[in-house]
Structure 1
Amino acid sequence: MPQQQQIAQTATANSGDGIGNMTYEQREQLREVFDAIDRSGRGFIPTSKLADIVKLLGLSKPSRETLEGWISGIDPANTGKIDYSRLEHFISLRYDEADQKQEIMNAFKLFKPDAKDAESARITLADLQRISTHLGEHIPDDELREMINIADIGETGGVDFADFTRVMRKTGLF
């Protein structure tokens, strides 16, 4: 069997679970969006539609800088267009990022369970003392303060969600 046929069969066999964390429904929705934009059936769409597609799929709206980086990544030859396969791979990565952000948010909320908006909350010395006590560990306050100082890049007196995310990724926990 030629190698191209083997690759095609493998791709078809593995497509049931989706790419990354994409579900069948997400892939179907993406296909519908792609086809609606590619009305002529040429097999590609303009990269200028990328922000609209991300928004339609319910993913976080990117900053202008992020969007420009995404476009240069999916269209390195600067053709101004993207085919479905590249778009599906790109969107699967965005879903993976969204899932990971939610997992980190859930971990952050373990420290700040009463926070209404975790993205504006900060983990403080009192939070670390509470967790330490809950776990039956005695960690001296000066060590807890040092943990906060190391993580608190913005020197806000607490560990915000961005600091927490950076630490979690740097330590390999996410």
Structure 2
Amino acid sequence: MDKLTPSQKRELRDAFDLFDKNHSGTISAKELQGVLKALNIKASDKETENLMKQMDKNNSGDIDFEEFQNAIAPSFFKKYSRHELLDAFKKFDTDGNGYLTFDELQTVLLRLNNNLKPNDIKAMMKSLDTTGDEKISFDEFCKLFE
């Protein structure tokens, strides 16, 4: 995937470095199991081995950053349709009022095991809230995915 922005490449590099526990510049099968566990994906040793084979294009036995980027970027930076975004928004908007409040956003982030502090969530809301009404509209929500 060669159309990544510098910011997207940095994001992937940060993720790669997080999973490259021994800082070898590659992700081993054991480290890949850690990645899957962190993503709450249960995979047997055989499934992990198959995933390694799919990602390890140069057959080195490890996943280098380029292989990681090529495997992860297409789904990580996928463009969502307006319909997909609306479905997600409706699930997050638990009271159905057409806006995401601080409490709704916090609930979603907790469900995703994101341990952001309330001040971080407030800062996120402020950056998305272009109208200053302390709520996130659907259009404001969509800007997250542009």
TM-score range, shorter chain: 0.3 to 0.5
TM norm structure 1: 0.37
TM norm structure 2: 0.44
